[in-house]
Each structure stands twice: as structure tokens, then as C-alpha cells.
Amino acid sequence: MSYFSEIYNGVITLLKGMSVTGKYFLNSRKGAITQQYPDNRDTLKMFERFRGEVIMPHDEKNEHTCTGCQKCEIACPNGSIEIVWDRGIDEYSGKKKKKIDKFVYHLSLCTMCGLCIDVCPTDAIKWGQNFENSVYDRTQLTRVLNRPGSKLRAGVED
Amino acid sequence: MIIGLSITRDIHDWLYGAMPEWAASLTEMVLIALVYLGIFAVAGLFLVLLERRIAAWFQQRLGPNRVGFQGLLQTMADALKLLSKELTGTTKADTFLYNLAPYFVIISSLMALSVFPFTREFQAFDINIGLFFLIAVSSIGVIGILLGGWGSNNKYALIGAMRSGVQTISYELSVGLSLLTMVLLTGTLQLSQIVEVQKSGWLIVQGHIPAIVAFMIFMISGTAETNRAPFDMVEAESELGAGFHTEYSGMKFAYFFLAEFINMFIICAIATTVFFGAWLSPFGITESIPLLGVFWFLLKTLMLVFLMMWFRWTFPRLRIDQLLTLEWKYLLPMNLVNIVIMAVMVWLNLTIKF
């Protein structure tokens, strides 16, 4: 008798599968997941965990939190981060201290592995959501992440 | 009140009035051939577009919607691209068979297309063994596939072609037997007569349970006949590259591609003619306007085409042994029992007629 129950079960499961896809078909007008990219450029928002490029957030007083510890430079497997640093007088303590001059980031070398961001003790660098990275000249892919005139936020190292 | 499709008769009379008989019949043949080639191309391109849009909707995508209004010209653009492409070939291929194969496929589907009654008197070839002709002709197509696979001298193509042979030979049986079940009911093989019979209720209503079983078997084996998913082992992308048309490019590839979709149309048109009353409108609501028969015929056929696309985007591909198990252990015995039931039913006059 298993012959007939097999036929019955087969037909039932096929119909179940068809009802699932049928529901998708009927709801396709509302729920299309396709992004019509160049058209919706203004409203397109990339999702939280998207790895577009490494950025260094600055607050409104033009201060970042990078202490120049160079952990990211060491962690980077292909040398896409170069930190040019200097020693200067710290205005709070009056002592000589290490601080960054330029945080150089080579986007053309970066594999988006995220090790630099994981290793950063002060969360100075983060993932940016920009993905339109094509340029006509590859020198434009070498970026200085800290803005000119920016300095370390007070109290980050405490 | 029959208005009739008098256009065709007018053209016929005018041709025979203006020319000697042999020239007139020759011109008529050429005209009909051109019309059917036109139907072939337009229907093929339209079905490809339909398939792509419907596939997209099943997968919550949008599908091609850029070229022309809602992407209507997309397949036209694709065909143009394929036309302009180089026709490549392999050096060790059997050139004659390799070049011949696409025409086998195309000609068989064109021949099958010619016998359908699109509406009253709109039928190129009303042969009295219509259904038999259809079954016979639609299985010629597999020779094209076998030749293509053999001629291109490619492992994948040959495996694909052999699978196609196995599959078509097996499922041809089910197609034939399920149509035979309905022939028991109609008592004729001529397609126009089959439509006449259905004026007292479509055959799927007249034959109720055995007819529905026969319809299900026909749709399953028809899907297998056209080598579509879930029975698309012939060109299983993940196993064989592209199957029998691996070595084809440009327009020859397009011939195979179009013929595949036309074959799907043909299977659905057979189902429409035999089970759903061809061009007859439901409850005879537009009986007085024969031209609307084309609309009803295409509507029913496209509904069935949609059903086949629904199969394709739902079911996973079968293995070759599962495919043969399905045919020989399940469909064939069911079909034979079904024929007996139908015969008993016709004998005892248990059919539903209005």
C-alpha cells in the first residue's frame, strides 16, 4: 500500500511547494527586493554591516579619537594603512607625546578584512557605507583620513 | 448566426480569381508559411520575455523592465544581439549534422504549430489524424537534439543529448496514452472535430475524474517532453554546461532557444485543444464573434504556460533514475488504469454533457 501513499504524499508536497511560490508571486508587486540603483541613488541606504571603506569619524569640533598607537598599521595584512606621526607638546599635560600627522589609507590595497577596525582600542576608525569608489586616477584612492587641523579629543587616553 | 472568418476566404477567392490555379495555391502556401513563421518568431520572443518576468516575480525581483515599455523589446534586442554574433564551431565537429540540427528542431515545432485550431476556420492544416500527427511530429524534435549533441563532438553535449533521448522516449508514452484517453471520449483524432465535440461541455468537464487524471499526467509528461525544469537534465546548467547546445552560438543557439519555448507553447496548446475546448468561450458567451476565439485560445494556452513556469520555479531538478522511476513505475501504470476507467465510463455513458 505504500505505493499509493507515496503518490498521495508526493502530490501533497508538490502542491505545498507550489502554494509557497504562489504566495511569493502574488506578493511580488509589493515586496520586490530589487534596488533600481542609479535611479534610487538619493534614497538608497546601505545596510549597517556593509563594508564600503574605512573612515575616521570627526565630531563638530573637528576632533577624532586616533591616538596614533599604530595597532591598525600592524594589523593590516597588506599595508594599506600608513600612519605618519610626530611628537608634540600635549596641551593638557604639558608633556611630549606621540600624535598623528597623517593617517594614510590606500583604498586600492584594502581587502575590507576589517582587522584594523577590530583592533582599534579607541574606535577611531569605522566602516563607511560609500561604495561608489571608481575613479579615473588611482592616486585618488590614497586618502588621508584625518582632516586638516583636526586633533585628538581630550580624555580619550585616560 | 455565423459571421465567420471571411477574410481568409476572401483572400482565397481573390487569389484564385487573379491567377492560374497552380500559382494561386503556391502563393497561398507561401503566405500561410510566412504567417506561421511570424507567429513562431513573435510567440517565441514573447514567451521568453514572459518567462523572465514571471521568474522574476516568483523570486521577488523585477525582471527586465528597461528596453521599451515594461521591457517589451528586451527579447527583440537579445535576438538582434544574437544575430550579430559569430557562428562558432568546433574543428572536429561533424559539420553537416552540426549545422542541420537546429533546423530539425525548428521545423518539427513549426509543423506542429500548423494544425492548431486558433479559431473557427483559422487552421492551416485540418488533417483528419490531427492528434496523431501532433504526437508524431513533436517527437521529431528530439532527433534535432540528438544530432546537435552528437555533431558537436563534445562530452557534455553528447551526455545531454542522450539524456534527452531517454527522457523523450519514456515520456512520449505518457503523452500519447493520456491523449488516447481523451480520444476515447471524442471518438475522433481530427482537431476541428474535437472542438465540435466540446460544444456540449469541455472534455475536462465531460470526462470528469479520468479526464482530470489524464490532464495531470499530460502536464507532467508534457513538461518532461519539452525538457523544462524540473525535468531539465538535458541542459542541466550545474552539471553539463549548457547540455546539447554547449557548442552552438549566435543564431543557431537562438533557434534552439526559441524552439524550446515554442515547444512549451505547443504542449500547452494541445492541452487547451484537448481538455479545455480550444477556442470555445466558457458557457458560449462569445459564440457569435468567432474572432474572439483567438483570444480565448491564447488566454487558455497562456494560463497553462503560466502553470508550467510555476512548476519550473518551484520544483528542484530530478535525478535521471528518479525521472525514469516516475515515468515507468507511476505514470505509465496509472495511465493504463485510467484508460480502462475512461473506456468503461464511455461505455456506461457516465459522461457529463450539457
Indicate whether B11 belongs to any domain.
Answer: no
B2: alpha, beta or left? (left if phi > 0; alpha if psi -120 to 50): beta
Phi, psi of B225 (to 5 degrees): -60, -40
Answer whether B314 touches A (CB < 8 Å): yes
What is the least distance, in Å, from the CA of A61 to any CA of chain B? 45
Looking at residue B7, its pLDDT comes to: 63
Looking at residue B93, its pLDDT comes to: 79
Radius of gyration of chain B (CA): 21
Indicate whether B320 belongs to any domain.
Answer: yes
Between the two ends of chain B, the Cα-to-Cα distance in Å is 21
The tens digit of pLDDT for each residue in A144-155 reads: 988 888 888 887
Looking at residue B1, its pLDDT comes to: 29
d(C-alpha B55, C-alpha B52), whole Å: 5
Answer whether B310 touches A (CB < 8 Å): yes
Looking at residue B229, its pLDDT comes to: 77
A5, A11, A18, A35: best mutation site toward chain B, by most B Cβ within 10 Å?
A: A18
Indicate whether B334 belongs to any domain.
Answer: yes
Indicate whether B198 belongs to any domain.
Answer: yes
Do the beta carbons of residue B124 and residue B32 sit within 8 Å?
Answer: yes
> What interface predicted TM-score (ipTM) does this complex get?
0.75
Residues spanned by the domain of B214: 89-347
B169: pLDDT confidence band, cut at 50, 70 and 90?
Answer: confident
Phi, psi of B236 (to 5 degrees): -45, 110
pTM recorded for the entire structure: 0.81
> What percentage of chain B carries pLDDT values higher than 70?
97
Q: Is the pLDDT of residue B2 over 60?
A: no
Residue range B24-29: mean pLDDT, rounded: 82
Q: Is the pLDDT of residue B10 over 80?
A: no
Q: Is the pLDDT of residue B62 over 90?
A: no
Total domains in the fold of chain B: 1
Q: Is the pLDDT of residue A66 over 90?
A: no
Looking at residue B349, its pLDDT comes to: 83
DSSP per-residue letters across A26-82: HTHHHH-----TTTTTTT----TT---EEE----TTSEE------HHHHH-TT--EE
Answer whether A17 touches B (CB < 8 Å): yes
Do the beta carbons of residue B276 and residue B247 sit within 8 Å?
Answer: no
Q: Report CB contact under 8 Å: A18, B313.
A: no
Q: Cα separations (Å) of A156 from A66, A120, A123, B79?
A: 9, 13, 10, 64
Considering chain B, what is the average pLDDT of its residues? 83
Answer whether A15 touches B (CB < 8 Å): no
What is the least distance, in Å, from the CA of B322 to any CA of chain A? 13
Do the beta carbons of residue B141 and residue B104 sit within 8 Å?
Answer: yes
Do the beta carbons of residue B92 and residue B153 sit within 8 Å?
Answer: yes
Tell how strand A53-55 and strand A126-128 pair up: antiparallel
Looking at residue B3, its pLDDT comes to: 40
Looking at residue A115, its pLDDT comes to: 93
Q: Which helix (H) or strand (E) holds B76?
A: helix B74-83
Q: Report CB contact under 8 Å: A21, B313.
A: yes
What is the least distance, in Å, from the CA of A42 to any CA of chain B? 20
Helix (H, G, I), strand (E, B) or coil at A103: strand
- Chain A residues in contact with B313 by the CB 8 A cut-off are 21
Residues 241-270 of B with CB under 8 A from A: none
B314, B327, B332, B334: best mutation site toward chain A, by most A Cβ within 10 Å?
A: B314
The Cβ of residue A119 has, within 10 Å, a number of other Cβ atoms equal to 15
The tens digit of pLDDT for each residue in A123-143 reads: 889 998 888 888 999 888 998
Helix (H, G, I), strand (E, B) or coil at B182: helix
Q: Is the pLDDT of residue A68 over 60?
A: yes
Do the beta carbons of residue B124 and residue B114 sit within 8 Å?
Answer: yes
Indicate whether B57 belongs to any domain.
Answer: no
- Chain B residues in contact with A20 by the CB 8 A cut-off are 314
| Residue B230 preceded by cis peptide, ω within 30 | yes
A155: exposed, middle or buried (C-beta count within 10 Å: 0-12, 13-18, 19+)?
exposed
Give the closest of A18, A27, A36 to B314, CB-based. Answer: A18
Looking at residue B83, its pLDDT comes to: 86
Virtual torsion, Cα A122, A124, A127, A128, nearest 10 deg? 150
Q: Look-up: residue for cell 608633556? A: A95
Indicate whether B341 belongs to any domain.
Answer: yes
Indicate whether B24 belongs to any domain.
Answer: no
B91: pLDDT confidence band, cut at 50, 70 and 90?
Answer: confident
Q: Is the pLDDT of residue B16 over 90?
A: no
Looking at residue B5, its pLDDT comes to: 53
d(C-alpha B56, C-alpha A32), whole Å: 9
DSSP A147: P
Q: Report CB contact under 8 Å: A32, B310.
A: no
The tens digit of pLDDT for each residue in B113-132 reads: 888 888 777 777 778 888 88
The tens digit of pLDDT for each residue in A87-99 reads: 878 777 777 888 8
Indicate whether B93 belongs to any domain.
Answer: yes
d(C-alpha B324, C-alpha B224), whole Å: 11
Residue whose C-alpha is closest to residue A82's, from A97, A67, A72: A72
